[in-house]
Amino acid sequence: MSLTKSLAADGSSFTIQIKGKFDFNLVQDFRAAYADVGDNTPKVIIDLRETEYMDSSALGMLLNMQKNLGSKVSGIRIANCRPQIKKILQISRFDKKFEID
Amino acid sequence: MRILVVDDQDLNRTMLKFMLESEGYEVILAEHGQQAVDIFDEAQPDIVLLDVIMPILDGYETAPLLKEKAGDFHLPIIFITALDDQKSMLKCLEVGGDDFLAKPFDKVILTAKIRAHQRTRELSQSVTAQNEALLYHQNQTNREHQIVEHIFSNALNNNEFVKDVVKYHLSPASMFNGDLFLANRSPMGGSYILLGDFTGHGLAAAVGALPTAQTFFAMTAKGLSVGDIAKEINTQLLRLLPDDMFCAACIIELSTHGKALSIWSGGMPDILLINQKEGIKQRIPSQHMAMGILEEDEFDIGSYSFEVHPEDKIIAFTDGVIEAHDINDEMFGQERLEAIFEASPYATIENVIDNLNQFCGDIEQQDDVSMCQVNCLPINDEISGNDHEIAPLPWHFSLPVKPDEIRTTDPVSHVLDMISGIKGMSKHRSTLFLVLAELYNNAVDHGLLNLDSSIKDEEEGFFNYYIQRQDALDILANGKVDISAEYDPDNKIVSFIVKDSGKGFNNKNQDLSPQTELELPHGRGINLIKELCQSIQYTDNGSRVEVHYSVLSQAPQELHYAI
């Protein structure tokens, strides 16, 4: 399984961790993962610490998620990016729409 | 048992020799004290029968000399004497005599006395032998400890951290520390810290440090989350340590920007989150059991996440700090520790240790004392991990990919695996993956499958597109995509050519304004390639595309993008 999700014990944050490749093959899993954010308007953390590759459809999936979740969450943070992944996010100007760490 | 008889009278010597030999003793004879001293080293007697009045060297003078020659072993000296005055007998004892044998000799008494002194002699010999053995083992143990200490200090000295961010204090109660402090940088540039405390202290407690450190460094290098690292270490310790030994620990990760903190803590005292202005903001209790107890399927990787600021710091410590005693057997305690930070939120672990030392005074330290402090500051350095030169070797390879391969394999990953295997290429792999994935997906989706990207703009568009793509791919019978990759070492350019057998597709609608680009869920691929590569060129009505990527392109960290 290259995608895991976990809701913090206090419900304040919801983490989706993606291992290896973040591409079109994850469309279904990714959409299903953020359907479970719960009712506490948590902060969503997309943890990319183990993401080696992503393609442009991953960027589209992130935007879709943001549209979809809207006010159901208190924010979305893309966390723990490796330098090359961060470069891709910066080129795509994702730092304007997401908190990137 | 050898007995030295020293007497100037021939008759006495003969009689004693006869009596002792008949009891099975070996007998050596000397005619006066000087002769006894001279033959002593060679004769190596166990007991000496010594006459008092003799020519050249009398018994009083001889006794101390023989005792000295006997060295560490107890040498029983029995004075042969006809003297019965108190003064002479006292003198015999003063010069080192152990007993008396009265003349004329009585065989029963002689034999009994010899046996008694034989026992003390043998006892002394065995004590000396035991002392020697003990000394030998002590030396051996010291030597072994030195070796182990050497290994430990090498294994545990791989810590990597930024000095302004991470500070720690360790003071073991004995040569080996049952507490453990480990630190490493993550591939993302952040900081990992592990503060651990094994059951007990000394060497027995310290042995668990080696596998813990090994696992910690391997897992932090991979950039795992704190919970996953704890799980890996737990598995190692469960396998290696005896049931009654385990490791209380907290694992902390601070992100590169110093804004995100995550903590997994098992069996440790409360960790303090302190703000320089407001004082203690939060006490973070252990949520879990120590590592090395729970089976893999029972282990909980759940961790705390915090958003932190540059004025925040984390203070973690082992129970040796709060359980340290003063002269009245009172414990230092969590309250005293917290009071230091309540009084001055700027306090550091040095201040705590100073306080603790004052509190304990001259009381000997009972347990290992360890503390660490993590200042939640951003880190601005660059990690130069795999900054290898790229081998100046031209290479070229190509893959003709047919429908079956498109359905069942991932050619882009395979191409990237091959390229990453070439020395120096691996730091470009994520970027090259994105570029090639883009070209390949376009070739398959639009060249072979004739899909329309605008489907993605609709509600649920991504999902519908995915379904349509699967359906079209399932029935695809003909066509192929040729991928070729090459490296030109003179110009330091990686080129990809992707050619599909389709009838071509329009790629002219890719020049979107930045704003539109950010809003639409599709269409950013080609613009990304334009940013990442030196050139991209479509020919053959869009069915052939060639891109050039310069491996000299600026390092990811240095990139500044102007809109």
Please tell me which of the candidates A9, A83, A97 has its beta carbon nearest to residue B557. A83
The Cα B121–Cα B96 span in angstroms is: 15
In a domain, B495, yes or no: yes
Q: Is A8 on the interface with B (CB under 8 A)?
A: yes
Same domain, B370 and B473: no
Beta bridge partners of residue B498, listed in sequence order: B483, B545
What does the pLDDT average to over B68-84? Answer: 87
Does B321 have pLDDT greater than 80?
yes
Q: What distances in angstroms separate CA B308 from CA B105, B273, B314, one per listed residue?
A: 98, 9, 10
Contact with chain A for residue B433, Cβ under 8 A: yes
pLDDT one-digit tens code per residue, B93-152 = 899 999 988 888 888 989 999 999 999 999 999 998 999 999 999 999 899 888 888 888
Contact A55 B437 (CB under 8 A): yes
User: What local confidence, expressed as pLDDT, does residue B509 receive?
Assistant: 46
CB contact set of B329 (below 8 Å; sequence gap of 6+) = none
- Say how many domains are in chain A: 1
- Which residues are paired to B474 by β-bridges? none
Helix, coil or strand: residue B554: coil
Nearest-CA residue of chain A relative to B427? A84
Given CB atoms, is B551 within the 8 Å cutoff of chain A? no
In contact, B51 and B33? CB cutoff 8 Å:
no
A3 interfacial to chain B (CB closer than 8 Å): no
Q: Are residues B222 and B352 in the same domain?
A: yes
User: Is the backbone of residue B260 left (phi > 0), alpha (psi -120 to 50) or beta?
Assistant: beta
Q: Which residue among A21, A54, A64 sits closest to B521, beta carbon to beta carbon? A: A64
Helices (H), B182-224: 203-206, 209-222
pLDDT of residue B405 exceeding 50: yes
Q: Chain A window 32-51: which residues touch B at a Cβ cutoff of 8 Å? A: 45, 47, 49-50
Q: pTM of whole model > 0.90?
A: no
* Phi and psi angles of residue B70, each rounded to the nearest 5 degrees, phi first: -70, -20
pLDDT at A10: 73
Task: Give residue-wise pLDDT tens across range B215-269.
Answer: 999 999 888 899 999 999 999 999 998 888 899 999 999 988 888 899 999 999 9
* Percent with pLDDT over 70 in chain B: 93
Check residue B506 and give its pLDDT. 63
Asked whether residue B386 is domain-assigned, the answer is no
Domain co-membership, B322 together with B407: no
Given B82, B112, B128, which residue is the final one in a domain? Answer: B128
Residues B399 and B371 in one domain: no
Instruction: Assess whether B252 and B112 both reside in one domain.
Output: no
Hey, is the C-beta of A84 within 8 angstroms of any chain B C-beta? Answer: yes
Residue of A nearest to B527 (CA): A92
Q: Among B128, B147, B182, identify where a domain stops.
A: B128
Is B307 inside any structural domain? yes
Looking at the fold, whether B233 and B319 belong to one and the same domain comes out as yes
A97 CB neighbours in chain B (<8 A) are 518
Residues in chain A: 101
Domain assignment present for residue B465? The answer is yes
Find the closest chain A residue to B526 by CA distance. Answer: A56
B198 found inside a domain = yes
State how far the Cα of B398 lies from the Cα of B415, in Å rounded to an integer.
Answer: 9
Same domain flag for B350 and B427 = no
> Which token pair is B219?
């897992």
Q: Domain of B180: which CATH number?
A: 3.60.40.10
* Mean of pLDDT values over B396-409: 91
Phi, psi of B192 (to 5 degrees): -115, 140
> Looking at residue A61, which CATH number applies to its domain?
3.30.750.24
Residue with tokens 């020519």: B55
Q: pLDDT tens for residues A67-90? A: 888 888 899 999 988 888 888 888
Per the rule left: phi > 0, alpha: psi between -120 and 50, beta: everything else, A93 is left
pLDDT tens-digit map of B44-75: 999 999 999 898 999 999 999 999 998 888 99
Of the candidates B268, B265, B319, B308, the one whose C-alpha atom is nearest the C-alpha of residue A9 is B265
- Mean pLDDT over B518-536 rounds to 75
Query: Which positions ≥6 away from B412 have C-beta within 8 Å?
Result: B433, B436, B437, B440
**Is residue B561 pLDDT above 90, yes or no?**
no
Closest partner CB to A101 (pick from B257, B413, B524): B257
For B450-485, what is each residue's pLDDT tens digit? 888 777 777 677 788 888 888 999 999 889 999 999
pLDDT band at residue B498, thresholds of 50, 70 and 90? very high
Q: B141-169 pLDDT, tens per residue?
A: 899 888 888 888 888 888 889 888 999 99
Q: What is the pLDDT of residue B499?
A: 93
Residues B312 and B427 in one domain: no
Q: Are B434 and A88 an interchain contact pair (Cβ–Cβ within 8 Å)?
A: yes
Residues with Cβ < 8 Å from B144, sequence gap 6 or more? none
Q: How far is A27 from chain B (nearest CA, A)?
A: 7
Partners of B257 on chain A (C-beta within 8 Å) are: 101
Domain assignment present for B150: no
> Are B493 and B409 in the same domain?
yes
Same domain, B177 and B98: no
Cα distances from A78 to residues B185, B404, B446, B529, in angstroms, run 19, 36, 30, 22
Owning domain of residue B208: 158-375
Lookup: tokens for B140 = 């051996």
Per-residue pLDDT, averaged over B510-524, amounts to 51
Q: Are residues B185 and B89 in the same domain?
A: no
Structural domain includes residue B383: no
Of A21, A47, A88, the CB nearest to B528: A88
Under DSSP, the state recorded for B347 is -
Q: What domain range includes position A67?
A: 3-100
Whole-angstrom distance, CA of residue B272 vs CA of residue B270: 6
Position B156 scores a pLDDT of: 81
- State pLDDT tens for residues B411-422: 998 898 888 888
Query: Quick one: B205 and B346 in the same domain?
Result: yes
Q: What is the mean pLDDT of residues B529-534?
A: 86
Question: A37: distance to nearest CA of chain B, Å?
Answer: 16
pLDDT of residue B516: 46
Average pLDDT over residues B297-317: 91
Split at pLDDT 50, 70, 90, the class of B180 is: very high
Number of domains in chain B: 3
Domain boundary among the residues B110, B128, B146 is at: B128
* Binary contact (A50, B524; C-beta < 8 A): no
Residues 6+ apart with CB under 8 A from B435: B496, B529, B532, B533, B547, B549
Measured in angstroms, the CA of A71 and the nearest CA of chain B are apart by 18
Nearest Cα residue in chain B from A52: B430
